[in-house]
Amino acid sequence: MPKLFRRLRQACVLLPALACAYAHAEPFAYVPNEKSGTLSVIDTATDQVVRQIAAGKRPRGIAADPTGRQLFVTDAASSALLLIDNAAGAPVRSVALGKSPEGVSASHDGNYVAVAVEENNSVALLDGHTGVVLADIKVQGRNPEHAVFSPDGRWLLVSAEEAEQVDVIDVAQRRQVASIAVGLRPRGIGFSPDSGRAYVACELVNAVYVIDMTLRKSIATIPAGKNANGIVVHPGGKHVYVSNGIDGTVMVIDTASNEVTATIPVGKRPWNMAITPDGAKLYVANGRSNSVSVIDTASARKVADVAVGELPWGVVIR
């Protein structure tokens, strides 16, 4: 009987803790601060920063595995990809890459991680579980910035600062198989949920290009604001969001009509963004405001500004 009472007492202690954990089960937004060398962690339930994680000297691109247990962050200062244990809040491994790695993405199944390596003019493909480099894939665009997986995991689309195209990598073949013409200096890339279309923000022509992935060509050009750069597609596929760096705005695009339906003021130099899994809130990194703007997608209006570190580069949500 004494053992039974001890177990009951232990359960009474654990139950409030478990209840507390479930009460804070909202996803978290992770923001790399390029000048501060940190990640700011925002609880999306409260829109408050709940902790800071050290992340090298110049963190830029960020991705996470499907569980959120491991974060992948490029550190431009060390030319490496940092593998960060989220629970421990610290890097557990550094993977050497070429000079100036930037955008990083993880495949939806968590099997692969891709990193755009600017001065190598290549994309590093890594095992998403071990961090082992599987291939270094050369691309045509100079100074690649983003390499983004399609939801079905078949393709990587790669944008570059010195390009008028996005390069297409076949993930299974681990090589570039095509290029698709778009406007000058493509930046952010997003896919429709079915992988059939891609949306590319082209900074120097202030436009978003809509790509048919079956035809491998652009089928529409949507005027955006000045220095269009970040792209996010709503999980439902009905809207696309584009950030405009000079204007300090985010535009909402209706994917049925390919027209802008709303323009939302945010901070200075809005850059890369992320959306919650339910599509309710969009988080926008404002590089020159040292903040993240929170947009309520239902009303298409900004509902909060969250102070983070210096020069936030982007956001990932898990």
Tens of pLDDT, residue by residue over 97-134, are: 999 999 999 999 999 999 999 999 999 999 999 999 99
Say how far apart CA 265 and CA 291 lie, in whole Å: 13
DSSP structure class, residue 312: B
Residue 14 pLDDT exceeds 50: no
Confidence at residue 227, expressed as pLDDT on a 0 to 100 scale: 98
DSSP structure class, residue 204: G
DSSP reduced 3-state for 141: coil
Other C-beta atoms within 10 Å of 189: how many? 28
**CB neighbours of 214 closer than 8 A, spacing ≥ 6?**
196
Residue 27 pLDDT exceeds 80: yes
**Confidence label for 25 from pLDDT (cuts 50, 70 and 90):** low
DSSP reduced 3-state for 12: helix
- Are 91 and 78 contacting, i.e. CB atoms less than 8 angstroms apart? no
23-27, 47-51, 87-91, 213-217: least confidently modelled range? 23-27
Average pLDDT over residues 255-260: 98
**CB neighbours of 1 closer than 8 A, spacing ≥ 6?**
none
Query: Could you report the per-residue pLDDT of 163-217, keeping only the tens digit for each?
Result: 999 999 999 999 999 999 999 999 999 999 999 999 999 999 999 999 999 999 9
Average pLDDT over residues 237-250: 98
DSSP reduced 3-state for 3: helix
Confidence at residue 26, expressed as pLDDT on a 0 to 100 scale: 76
Say how far apart CA 5 and CA 37 lie, in whole Å: 49
Residue 307's φ and ψ, nearest 5 degrees, are -70, 130
Other C-beta atoms within 10 Å of 2: how many? 6
Say how far apart CA 212 and CA 195 lie, in whole Å: 9
> Nearest to residue 227, comparing CAs of 169, 188, 177, 175?
188
Ordered strands of the 90-96 beta sheet? 59-64, 70-75, 80-85, 90-96
Confidence at residue 79, expressed as pLDDT on a 0 to 100 scale: 97
Other C-beta atoms within 10 Å of 31: how many? 27
> Nearest to residue 157, comparing CAs of 102, 128, 127, 116?
116
Confidence at residue 31, expressed as pLDDT on a 0 to 100 scale: 98
User: Whole-angstrom distance between the N-terminal and C-terminal Cα of the chain?
Assistant: 44
pTM: 0.92
Write the DSSP string, 66-132: TTSSEEEEEETTTTEEEEEETTTTEEEEEEE-SSSEEEEEE-TTSSEEEEEEGGGTEEEEEETTT--
- Are 312 and 271 contacting, i.e. CB atoms less than 8 angstroms apart? yes
Say how far apart CA 234 and CA 255 lie, in whole Å: 10
User: How confident is the prediction for the chain on average, in pLDDT?
Assistant: 93
Say how far apart CA 123 and CA 139 lie, in whole Å: 7
